[in-house]
Homo-oligomer: A and B are copies of this chain.
């Protein structure tokens, strides 16, 4: 969900292109809103760093507590467990992407151009220095690439899906699907194409770094953007 708050209490807001915005995450995803306290923000920013450093399996609330100098019990007051924290982080990320999609495409008339712009946003690396309310977006995007699959590949998917935990991701897929349908109203597979592209982008980035024989980027002038742009346009055409 994207919430644009104008002239609200300054401390909860972020200056960005002169627009004051806050990314709001579904209440179900925290026991206590981490965006509203210093400790909460420290939990968010340090958990991102620590998950990147250790990988999600080796990451624990105990270790996080040591990093931020707080007992693990304090972290449990914000998040029921590390799995919910991961869903919180991915949810935040997808809302952030949705915000970027909306603002990057708002003045583009051609739906083809809007689709291409959307693929840009899905593929382009986040700038290193983007830090939106205690979230290091560049590091967070590494987590999305390496770990976000684990947020919904569990035996609780169905239950958690009912509670709306994956809404932010779905909204992004829906938004881009709508652009595709504008471009070609009788296209049969808009959601499949979009989710194939999104997951594909993550896989290809991961493969490029860890299993290069499964991809072709790094060869010649191949890029992930071009691959998925060509793929989408050839398919829809």
A: which residues have CB within 8 A of B? 54-55, 57-58, 146-147, 149-150, 152-155, 157-158, 161, 166, 169-170, 173-174, 188-193, 195-196, 199-200, 203-204, 206-207, 210-211, 213-217, 219-220, 222, 227, 230-231, 234-235, 237
- How many copies of the polypeptide does the oligomer hold? 2
Set B57, B199, B220, B227: member contacting A154, Cβ < 8 A:
B57
Nearest CB of chain B from residue A105's CB, rounded to whole Å: 21
Chain B residues positioned under 8 Å from A210 (CB to CB): 152, 157-158, 161
Do A227 and B155 form a contact, CB below 8 Å, given A199-B199, A214-B170? no
Chain B residues positioned under 8 Å from A195 (CB to CB): 203-204, 207, 214-215
Can you list the 6 inter-chain pairs with the closest CB atoms, starting with the nearest?
A: A55-B155, A195-B214, A196-B200, A157-B210, A234-B234, A189-B216
Chain B residues positioned under 8 Å from A203 (CB to CB): 195-196, 199
Nearest CB of chain B from residue A222's CB, rounded to whole Å: 6
Assess the B192–A216 pair: CB atoms within 8 A.
Answer: yes
Assess the A191–B174 pair: CB atoms within 8 A.
Answer: no
Question: Which residue of chain B has its CB nearest to the CB of A231?
Answer: B235
Assess the B213–A170 pair: CB atoms within 8 A.
Answer: yes
Docked complex Cα distance between A222 and B187 (Å): 11
Set B55, B150, B191: member contacting A214, Cβ < 8 A:
B191
Assess the B152–A146 pair: CB atoms within 8 A.
Answer: no
Considering residues A174, A193, A203, A217, which has the most beta carbons from chain B within 10 angstroms of its beta carbon?
A: A203
